[in-house]
Each structure stands twice: as C-alpha cells, then as structure tokens.
Amino acid sequence: MRKEPFMGIINRAIRNISRRKIRALLVIIALGFSMAILVSIPAGVLANQQTASTAATNLSNIITQTSAAINQTSTQIDCNLAPSFSGFGFSGFGANSGGSGSGSGFPPSGSGGRPGGGGFTPGQFGGGTVGGQFGGSAFSGGQSNPMNESLYTDINGTISGIGTVEPILQASEGQNVTRDLSFNGYSRTITTLEVEYTIEGIPLTSDLVNNYPVLPTNITEGSNLQAGASGEVLLSENNSAYFNAGVGDTITVLNQPFTVVGIYSPASVSQTQTLYMNLSDAQTITNNTGYITSFKVFATSSETVTQVASAISTLHPELTVTTDQTRLNQLQNLQTTYNSELATAQASNSQTYSTAVEEIAIVVVATSLIVLFVMLYTVKERTKEIGTLKAIGFSNSVVMSQFMLEGILLSIIAGIVGIAIGSIAAPTISSLLLPSVGLGGGAGAGVAVVSGTSRIGGLSIATLNPELILILFGASVLLGALGSLYPAWRAAKIRPAEAMKYE
C-alpha cells in the first residue's frame, strides 16, 4: 500500500470514530475494561510468582540455616550448674565451688573489686534473672554459675563417645544501675548490671579451633583467633564500636592490653556483645584462674549425644545437661512445615496460573467479539458509503484496510484506557479474578508462621511493568485486527451498486 492512500485511510478512520462520540466512548470503555483485565491478570500472576518465589527463597534459606544449625550443634552438649544447685543469690556458688562463701559475686575477685565495673558477678541478681546477660551459648538457657574447672576433668576420661570438652568462662562487664521498682504497692531498689561487653574465654587449642564450632564464623574484618593465640581478642561489631577499635588496634580489657585480630558479625542476639579470647587470658584478667562458668561437651556423633549426656548427668548430678535433641526435633518439625509450605505455595501458584490462562482466553475472546460486533454494525450502517467508495474507484484492499484500521484504532485507544485503568486497579482486578494473590488459603497460616520470623518478604503487589504495557499494546493491535478482520472482509465484499440504493 502506498503512503498517500494510507494517510487518507487513517484520517478517515479517526474521523469516523470521532463522528459517533457516545458510541465510541461506550465501546472504548467496554474494551478498555477488557484490556485492563487482560493486563491485570498477568500482572497478578507475576506478583503471585514473585511472592511465591520470595517465600520459597526465604523458606529455603531458613531451611538451609536451620539444617546448618542442626548439623553444627547436633553433637553439642551444654553443661552448667543446675539452678537447683545454684539456688538463689550467692549461695549456689559457695555450695559448688567450695570457695569462700562470703562476699558478693564471684569469690576470687570479691565484690566490686574492680573499679568502674561489676566485676565478675554471675550471682549478682540470682541465677535466673540476669542469666541472659551472662549469655552462654545461644540456646543454653543462659544460666552461668562459676565452676571449678578441675572438678570436671574426669568427664573426658571416664565417659566414652566424647570428642572433646570445651571449658568456657564468660564474664560480663558493665555498669551497675540501681533502679526503684514499685509493683503492687511493694517498692524495692534493684541493682542490675547494664552489660557493656561480655568476655568469653575458650581454650584456643588447635583441636577445638579447627574441629569444633567454638568461634564465630562470619569474620567481617581481619582474621579469626588462631590456635594458641594469647593477648588477642576477636570483637563483635558492637564491641568494635564500644571500644572504638579496629583490626590491629590495642584495647584495654580489665586493665590488660589486647590486640584486636578481627571483627565478626554476630549470628545471634546473645552474641552481639561478646568478645572472644583465650580462656587463660580470660581467667587471668578476671582473677578467675581455675574457674569456668560452663563447658560444652562434643559427642563423637549425633547418635551418641543422648547417651553421653545421660552419662554426664550420672557422673555429675549437680550439672544441668542440655543437648540439642529437643531443639533438633523442633527444627525438624519446622523444616517439615516449611517444606509443605513450599509445596502449597507451588500448588497455589500453578492453580493461579491455570485460572489466569482461562480468564485471559475468555477476555481475549470477549474483546475480539466486542470489536467484531461493533465493526459489523459499523459496516452495516455504512453499506451505502462503502458502495460509494467502491463506485468511485476504491479497491477492495483499501476498503478492507479502512475498516481493519478503524477496529485496530478503537482497540489501541481502548488499550491505552486499559493501561490507565490497569495501572490504578491492577491489584484490585487481579485479586478479584485470581485465587488470592500471594499465598492464600491453607498457605496463609504457614506464611504467618514464617512471617513471624520476619524473614519472609512482603506480598508482591500486581503492578504493570513496561514489558506488560508493551505486550498489551501489541495485544490491542492484534485483537483489533482479529475482531475487525471479518467485518472488514464483509465491507470489501459489499457491491458498489449498493451506492445506488435509495431507501
């Protein structure tokens, strides 16, 4: 087709559409809504897929982390003094350590023995209440009572199935803060330790450092503590800020200089204020030589953990012995939940997809039918005009192009309207037409659980991206052409003699 007739065709198509304004408006609105649905459904599906894939990624991350945690700690047994033995306040210490029972806090250091800090005060406010401050491992329950290291050297020798024993000394340093509390008419003054940092001393033997998860793993700066290191510390990011020190700097911990070898990113909340050093260094600077606050026993395999734990309990009934068995079970349950969650999400996704395909098919058919009937009506209405055009020398192909173009033009305008509607109403439309955008139904409860962990991303919202807009534009051209093909063909078949009819 030459350019000139084509311009004429476009010109006439535009004039014809604008000639019947109300009709054009109604048709465009109807088509526009179809187009909006047409573009909103894929947007919804995309949003669904994104939501599901975010959820899947998050879930699988959780599963990975969980498995790692399970594997890492499956052989671990935490041992410390049972609350019943430590009793309340300071008595527990005396009973177990055999040291002098008087004075506050930890006997070797004496109460308030160190300026500016609470010293080593495990029993300061009862074993239970401030236990958390003393940290312990993330899952240990947080009770730390001082123990004489030598009392427990028998464990490794007498019980079989033990890989190694890791004695730990934890000491929190900070300010004593006194507060007046009133509760139901009772009023009392409580002094608590506001922890500024927690020292964790562990034996830096090559066996422990190289084979067991005793040190933080995610070092962000510098390097980890090496076996046999002394006078060196590994700081948490929090510590680094508190001491205002970086890798290579020297900090003073309880009047003793230490070189910072590395900084790590804490894996759990309880670790945020913990700095790591050699056990002997920790014992020295806290004046606790020969004492520890807890120890971990690593069984040779996860199968023998329970057996080893009960053997330890038998040997030292005063100890609280915790294995990760319970947590293991919990984590395994969680993993099962996550897996079924993923399956549900995928199922919901594929259901959404098939619904979307059906609906798109319906809308495509409906849109073409609208164009078809409108154009058929137009052709019928303009029979005489078409006859005239042919009588004065228009070819069939030009007449056909004329009506095809009119249909396509209508459809394109409707497409633009549809994009406008869709860009506002896509979330609403897609949520009305698709089985719950995101993870709906049975998946919901599971997602709520996962959401509780704050790891799942928000539900993705159906939005029109440029690709979708481009596709819809193409679709509107195509549907316009499809719908007006038959009417245009009918127009081309109109006999020129129709121009002569005068009713």
Partner 1 sequence: MSKPVLQISNLNKTYMLGKRPVQALTNLNLQVNQGEFIAIMGPSGSGKTTLLNVIGCIDKATNGQVLLDGIDVSKMPENQLYKIRRDKMGFVFQTFNLLPYLNARENVELPMEGKIKSKDERKKRASELLAMVGLSGRENHRPQRLSAGEQQRVAIARALANNPAFILADEPTGNLDSQNKQEIIKLLANLNLTHGTTIIMVTHDTQAANHTERMLLLKDGKIIKEKEGLHLAKKNNKCPNCGADIKLSDNVCPICQKSLTITDEPFSS
Residues at the interface with partner 1 (CB under 8 A): 2, 4-5, 7-8, 12, 15-16, 19, 384-385, 388-396, 398, 495-497, 499-500, 502
* Nearer CB in complex with partner 1: 9/225: 9
Supply the minimum distance, in Å, between the C-beta of residue 469 and partner 1: 32
Nearer to partner 1, 389 or 434 (CB): 389
User: Residue 2 or 188: which CB sits closer to partner 1?
Assistant: 2
One-letter amino acid of 224 = N
Q: Which residues of 369-406 are buried (b: 16+ CB within 10 A; e: fewer)?
A: ebbbebbbebbeebbebbbebbeeebeeebbbbbbbbb
**Looking at beta carbons only, is 265 or 396 nearer to partner 1?**
396
Q: Which is nearer to partner 1, 316 or 390 (CB)?
A: 390
Which of the 8 DSSP states describes residue 35? H
* CB closer to partner 1, 450 vs 499: 499
Reduced to 3 states, what is the DSSP secondary structure of residue 277? strand
Q: What is the DSSP string of 249-261?
A: -EEEETTEEEEEE
Strand 186-202 and strand 274-278: the pairing is: parallel
Whether the Cβ atoms of residue 136 and residue 260 lie closer than 8 Å to each other: no
**Is residue 484 within 8 Å of 403, Cβ to Cβ?**
yes
User: Taking the complex as a whole, how short is the minimal distance between the CB of residue 417 and partner 1, in angstroms?
Assistant: 23
* Residue 234 and residue 215 in contact, taking contact as beta carbons nearer than 8 Å: yes
Query: Do the beta carbons of residue 401 and residue 69 sit within 8 Å?
Result: no
From the CB of 400, what's the least distance to partner 1, in Å?
12
Question: For residue 285, what are the CA distances in angstroms to 113, 114, 255?
Answer: 12, 11, 8
Dihedral angle sign, alpha carbons of residues 477, 482, 484, 489: positive
Q: Shortest distance, CB of residue 377 to partner 1, whole angstroms?
A: 17
Min. distance of Cβ 2 from partner 1 in angstroms? Answer: 7
Give the integer Cα–Cα distance in Å for 258 and 261.
9
Distance in angstroms (rounded) separating the CA atoms of residues 268 and 391: 86
Is 19 or 23 the residue whose CB approaches partner 1 more closely?
Answer: 19
Q: Is 170 helix (H, G, I), strand (E, B) or coil?
A: strand
Q: 103 or 496: whose CB is closer to partner 1?
A: 496
Q: 227: helix, coil or strand?
A: coil
Give the C-alpha separation, 197 to 243, whole Å: 10
Measured between alpha carbons, how far is residue 492 from residues 6, 392, 411, 488, 499 in Å? 16, 14, 21, 6, 14
Closer residue to partner 1 in complex, CB, 363/375: 375
Shortest separation between residue 500's beta carbon and partner 1, angstroms: 6
Minimum Å gap between C-beta 395 and partner 1 is: 5
**Closest separation in Å from C-beta 374 to partner 1:** 17
* Nearest distance, CB of residue 409 and partner 1, angstroms: 14
